[in-house]
Amino acid sequence: MDMMNRKQIDGQRQMDFAAKFNYVREAGTPGEEKAAKFIRKELESFGADSREETFTFEAFKMKKASLAVLEPYEKEYAVTGYARCGSTPEEGIEAPFLYIENGDDISLSYAKDKIAMVNAPVRKDMYEKLAGAGAAGFVSIAGTPLDEGEDLIPRAYNLPKSIEAPIQGVSIHYKDAAEMVTKGASRAKLIVSQEKEERTSRNVIARIGGTDKAEEILTLTAHFDSVKEGPGAYDNMAACAIIMELCRFFKANRPRRTMEFIWFGAEEKGLLGSQNYVKVHEKELAHHQFNMNVDLAGQLVGGNVIGVTGAASICEMLTYLAHEIGIGMITTNSIWGSDSNTFAWKGVPAMTLNRDGFGMHTRHDTVDLLSPWSLERSAVLLGHIAERLANIEVMPFTKKIPEEFCRQLDEYFNS
């Protein structure tokens, strides 16, 4: 992208686009579906054809979650149930209550047949430890002592898919957890009731056919779903705006290689959109050369990191290109917790452009914190990288994914 082309990238236009999506877009909800329609409408406005690829996923509807202290005082606390951990008997589980802090082995050895409370969200390892210790149920602590009002509603968590779920659990707010321990809660009743349901999510895809190297494919990707806690402007509508701006650019400046722009659904549910994409397009993956993903972008206070899951030489190449355009960034050669991982897992070298910032996965992640200045710079940086790779005679790096990353990716996707 030279100085002339750079003028075709407009931060304010990106900002205006992102501002249209200041609502929650949790995967499988009407918010996500509405956002997909708006993305397609924007593509249509500059003559880019698009398609939608839908897929279904398993979700859990929480019917009831409650935690009541029975002794030495009686009080019911506001809690949120853990999804994917099954249901207690209808009347609930009554058991002694015990706070086991970080769930160290000493504390855990006292958890048998008790409702055990731990500090951090319960993930796979801690869940297995709690179940292994014979806990009757679990409570995890969320939030901070500074929270007020709606922030006192404890966060929701999911257990990972691969888990057998013999015990149930809930999330409680920090302040309530502190009260329970301070007042010496010693006996409690836990109720969790949930139902499986199938939901539909979708990817929006726009392809710009290449000229003389059309059989080689580059992807520019960003997820457009949000978590249910907030409207996900920084995570990740800003990135959606960046690749939309680049789609507009390449529509007007046709590349030699084919460029596929993908707005993924259900990333926040475990990279489901990208996993559906590589499944549906499995036969075509041999033609894919590089995935350029963007996840977390658009805030002013922050810096750019490009996580490269592929040969280390790609980091050097990207650094060289960033020097050419004069926009700051650093690289990390590692796997990355975003849709780029899915491509790398399937043998396509991939990167995620990431900008650190404030408020991810909270209600504070709104468009108010986005900046046209930041959006424009990121789009120019990524646009420069994409334009060079789209038009270069031969792709300047090996497609081979280092063994160590393959191992880590297998573990990532299989746990």
Q: Give the footprint of Zn ion on this chain (CB under 5 A).
A: 235-236, 295
> What is the C-alpha to C-alpha distance for residues 92 and 99, in angstroms, rounded to an integer?
19
CB count, 10 Å around CB of 8? Answer: 16
| Cβ(91)–Cβ(82) below 8 Å | no
- Integer Rg of the chain from CA: 23
Going by C-beta distance under 8 Å and a sequence separation of 6 or more, which residues neighbour residue 45?
Answer: none
Concatenate the DSSP letters of all residues of 5-57 into one string: HHTT--HHHHHHHHHTT-S--BTTSHHHHHHHHHHHHHHHHTT---EEEEEEE
Q: How far is CA 367 from CA 15, 214, 231, 300, 377, in A?
A: 8, 37, 8, 12, 17
Which lies closer to Zn ion via its Cβ, residue 98 or residue 296? 296
Q: Rounded to the nearest whole angstrom, what is the least distance from the CB of residue 71 to Zn ion in the complex?
A: 43
Looking only at the bridges linking them, the beta strands covering 169-173 and 79-81 are: antiparallel
For the record, the structure tokens of 158 come out as 């999911």
- Residue 26 CB, shortest distance to Zn ion, in Å, is 13
**386/376 Cα distance (integer angstroms):** 15
Q: How far is the CB of 242 from Zn ion (least distance, A)?
A: 13
Residue 154 and residue 190: Cα distance in Å, rounded?
15
Among residues 116 and 335, whose Cβ is nearest to Zn ion? 335
Please give the Cα distance from 373 to 371 (Å, whole number).
5
Our CB check for Zn ion shows the closer of 118 and 239 to be 239
CB of 268 to Zn ion, least distance (A): 7
Identity of the residue, 142 or 266, whose beta carbon is nearer to Zn ion in the bound complex? 266
DSSP state of 222: E
Q: Which two tokens mark 153?
A: 């509603």
Q: Which of 169, 273 has the CB closer to Zn ion?
A: 273
Identity of the residue, 81 or 232, whose beta carbon is nearer to Zn ion in the bound complex: 232
CB of 304 to Zn ion, least distance (A): 15
Closest CB 223 distance from Zn ion, rounded Å: 6
Closer residue to Zn ion (CB): 209 or 303: 303
In the complex with Zn ion, the residue whose CB is nearer, 32 or 235, is: 235
Distance (Å, rounded) from C-alpha 335 to C-alpha 274? 15
Q: Which is nearer to Zn ion, 168 or 226 (CB)?
A: 226
What is the nearest approach in angstroms of Zn ion to the Cβ of residue 239?
8
CB 155, CB 142: distance < 8 Å: yes
CB of 335 to Zn ion, least distance (A): 15
Helix (H/G/I), strand (E/B), else coil: 322: helix
The total number of residues shown for the chain amounts to: 415
Are residues 376 and 327 in contact, defined by beta-carbon separation less than 8 angstroms?
A: no
In terms of CB distance, is 296 or 329 closer to Zn ion? 296
CB of 222 to Zn ion, least distance (A): 8
CB atoms within 10 A of CB 332: 15
Q: For the CB of residue 296, give the shortest distance to Zn ion in the complex, in Å.
A: 6
